[in-house]
Structure 1
Amino acid sequence: MHFSQLGLAPEILSAVAAQGYTTPTPIQGQAIPVVLSGRDLMACAQTGTGKTAGFTLPILQLLANKPRSGAPRLRALILTPTRELAAQVEESVRTYGANLPLKSMVMFGGVGINPQIAALRRGVDILVATPGRLLDHAQQKTIDLSSVEILVLDEADRMLDMGFIHDIRRVLALLPKKRQNLLFSATFSDEIRALAAGLLHEPHYVEAERRNSAAELVRQTVFPVDRERKRDLLVELIRTHQWPQVLVFTRTKWGANALAEKLQKAGIEADAIHGNKSQNARTRALSGFKDGRLHVLVATDIAARGIDIDELPHVVNFELPNVAEDYVHRIGRTGRAGSPGEAVSLVCVDEHKLLRDIERLLGRSIEKQVHPGYEPDPHIRPEPIQMRSNAPRSGGRAGSPKPRAAQPAARGKPPSRPAAGAPRSGMRHR
């Protein structure tokens, strides 16, 4: 299939071709015709499948087919769980709408609200926003949602995990009853299906690939190691194998900070990215990591949802996630667009149950390797995993983190720009 077969306007096809793409990914090939038909859509798509273009391209087409008269009015609203993802989605809108007379903007917290108010006054056709800041504008009556024709909930599963359900419901109450709704989620848990039941009208269902499948091009390895020696082993692996670019996952914000400081003291350029960082600090760290100035980026699961990097060679699970599905999302950051990748997990005795949950989800065991000099002490007993909540409380407002013991992994709970020279068979990162 070619993009020209999907019924997209020449202006959009030209913008797609300018990015070097000719063939849609499976999710794009399925979703674009449904959105163009005006139907509601429920789409299951893993990270890196090209889902963003699966809704941005047809939205641009639908709006361009009905030219506006006068100043722009808000006609399409795209909600995302994180600032980074919002910025990347809006970049996608601008990239593919470059030849169209449509205005877009991105809106999130952590930055001044006045420039956003000024942009809204000038008029916007397409808005990409996080729920909290959108509701701030609604409360101040600086935004008009009465003309929204298309609503997109992107990464709906993560928005529920982050406690945004009440914010989402408040937003829905402000929108016109008659509109097209598009819901994208990496998993279809009971919570997601309940949300969809109250949101979507006779939706068309599409699924890009087998749920919770791990990237086939990713080599997965587990290194058993004592909990107190993980940091030293990570430094050893980075130096020994001369890894050029490494995305490292921790469970907590303070753990990410501590690990980044450890790596810096070892002479490795590293920084942490998480919800407590200012937006400028997060943008600066991500930019440095993408262009190679930063060797290692340490991230929490929530902060990493907006990270999309072509040909990222290495992902390290410094700590295994409490929810097995998040492991799949983590390692899906590498092995993209036909490029091989490697996912390494440093597993201590405390995490054996989490590892079993992950292997059960994958349907196979992961290769184990003991690094010489880092053999686990068989006499060390497992301890409860202490962590601090990374998720804001209900409504998306961050509360004071309190240590708590990790709970057993729960079932059913689980965002890009192509780099120069990247393979161009399908828009994997949009």
Structure 2
Amino acid sequence: MPFSTLGLSEPLLKALADLKYSEPTAIQKKAIPVILSGKNLVAAAQTGTGKTASFVLPMLEKLNTERKLRGKRIRALVLTPTRELAVQVEQSIRDYGQYLNLSSMAMYGGTDIEPQRQKLIWGVDIVVATPGRLLDMAHQRALHFDELEVLVLDEADRMLDMGFIEDINKIIERLPLERQNLLFSATISDDVRALSKRTFSNATEISIGNNNASKPKIDQWLITVDKGNKSALLSHLIIEHQWQQALIFIETKHGAAKLVSQLEKRGISAESIHGGRTQAMREQVLNDFKAGKIKFLVATGIASRGLDIGELTRVVNYDLPDQVDDYIHRIGRTGRAGASGEAVSFVAKDNFRNLCAIESRLGHVIKRKEFEGFPVKKVVPLSILNYVPKNKR
């Protein structure tokens, strides 16, 4: 089946020929006709299946009109979890739309906001953005959404894993009700399906390939520990169990700085990212962590929003989060793309209510481990799930 059978116009077919694209992939065959018909779409497809072209091509086709934009307006918005993906998708828009008179731009944090603001002055047809920077622009009234026609949530599962749900909800609240909605994800998890139902209705759902392939394999366990022993326990685990790397979540920037100092006194290389550090500093620390120059990264919840770290084997909830969604997002940083991961949580007695809520959401008890030399004075009770009769589990 050639691309010409999918309803694409000559300028797009010419661009595809230039790029040596001969036949559409499975996701493109299914998604492009649905999108061209104007329907909402929820699609599950792994990276490398031609997913980007499956929404970019019909989006360009629909936007290829003589309509003139007003200043600071956009016609299509693609939300992505990372700046790297934003740049990649925007380049695809340029490649596929090279024979069309449509404008596009990538918008992301960590760079000077002014050049991006200047590009918006005359209006841009398509903006590809990370959620945080887009909200910054909206708060500064640098762009308006009243002429928006298409919303795309690309790699929705990763955006949820990275803690962008609040930003996504705030963005959607600003958009016109009359629009086409497209959601693409490696898997259609319960969280992704809930997001799609909140965002739009009457969506066509398609799935390509084995979408359980990247289902996380996360070994979750907890250690009951008195607050005053947490730093010593963490050091013990790192040294005695020869941990090579871990992302450690903590509640406050003061606590992050203090923990890094305590770890370094014990000869453990560590750094922190928190709201008190500039974006440039956070990016440098994160890059060093990804490169293996920093083995242990201590992050506050706010600063960790948007973190994307491949092949992360272990996360530690040094402070158990108050919100269940935060726990889910934190542990979702490991065990990705079918790899195995480990999520370790430190739980003190005053975390008991939070623990009960987390185990209730998970639907199972998190296994507990004890370590010699760290006796607990304030015992953490077992949650109610421990008392469900075995024949009802």
**Superposition TM-score, scaled by structure 2 size:** 0.68
Aligned partners of 1:315 and 1:331 also within 8 Å? yes
Superposed counterparts of 1:29-40, under 5 Å:
34-35=34-35, 37-40=37-40
Distance 1:65 1:32, change over 3 A: closer
* Alpha-carbon distance, 1:134 to partner: 2.2
Retained in 2: the 8 A contact 1:249–1:318? Answer: yes
Letter in 1 for 2:83: A
Structure 2 residue matching 1:306: 3-state secondary structure: coil
Deviation at 1:182, TM superposition (A): 3.5
Q: Deviations over 1:298-352 (max 9, x none)?
A: 2234443422332211111112222223322222211122322111112222222
| Runs of 5+ consecutive residues of structure 1 not aligned to the other structure | 209-213, 383-430
Quote the Cα distance in structure 1 between the aligned partners of 2:179 and 2:57.
16
Corresponding residue of 2:55: 59
Partner of residue 219, structure 1: 219
Q: Which has the higher helix share?
A: 2
Q: Which amino acid aligns with 1:339?
A: A
Larger Rg: 2
Number of equivalenced pairs: 345
Aligned counterparts, 1:195-210, within 5 A: 196=199, 200=200, 202-204=202-204
Give the letter aligned to residue 250 of structure 2: T
Q: 1:291 to 1:188 in 2, by over 3 A?
A: closer
Distance apart, 1:280 and its partner CA: 0.8
Change (3 A) 1:264 1:55: farther
Deviates more, 1:331-340 or 1:65-74: 65-74
Larger RCO: Structure 1 or Structure 2 (Cα < 8 Å, ≥ 6 residues apart)?
1
**Is residue 93 from structure 1 mapped to residue 94 from structure 2 by the alignment?**
no
Match of 2:136 in 1: 133
Q: Distance in 2 between matches of 1:324 and 1:30?
A: 36
Which one-letter code corresponds to 1:179 in the other structure?
Answer: R
Q: Which residue is 1:323 aligned to?
A: 323
Give the deviation of 1:30 after TM superposition. Answer: 8.5
Is the 8 Å Cα contact of residues 256 and 299 (structure 2) preserved in structure 1?
yes
Deviation at 1:95, TM superposition (A): 6.2
1:268 counterpart = 2:268: yes
Q: Give the drift of 1:232.
A: 1.4
Structure 1: how far apart are the matches of 2:18 and 2:61?
16
SS at match of 1:116: helix
The match for 1:296 is 296
CA distance in 2, matches of 1:202, 1:72: 30
Query: 1:356 corresponds to which residue?
Result: 356
> How far, CA to CA, are the matches of 1:127 and 1:254 in structure 2?
35
* 1: CA distance, partners of 2:351 / 2:94: 48
The 8 Å contact of residues 86 and 106 in structure 1, kept in 2 or not, is answered as no
* CA distance in structure 2 between the partners assigned to 1:308 and 1:116 by the alignment: 23
**1:79 positional shift:** 4.5
Instruction: Work out the CA distance in 1 between the residues paired with 2:362 and 2:135.
Output: 35
Q: Find the counterpart in structure 2 of residue 311 from structure 1.
A: 311
- Aligned-partner SS, 1:78: strand
Q: How far does residue 62 in structure 1 lie from its aligned partner after superposition?
A: 1.9
The alpha carbon displacement at 1:249 in A equals: 1.4
| SS in structure 2 of the partner of residue 351 of structure 1 | helix
For the Cα contact (< 8 Å) 1:40–1:181, is it kept in 2?
Answer: yes
Q: What root-mean-square deviation, in Å, do the aligned CA atoms of Structure 1 and Structure 2 show?
A: 4.6
CA distance 1:13–1:367, change in 2 (3 Å):
farther
**Normalising by structure 1, what TM-score?**
0.63
Q: Distance in 2 between matches of 1:346 and 1:156?
A: 23
Aligned to 2:211: none
CA contact (8 A) 1:235 1:263 kept: yes
Distance 2:63 2:293 in 1: 44
- Alignment-mate amino acid for residue 87 of structure 1: R
1:394 counterpart residue number:
none
SS at match of 2:96: coil
Q: Distance in 2 between matches of 1:365 and 1:272?
A: 31
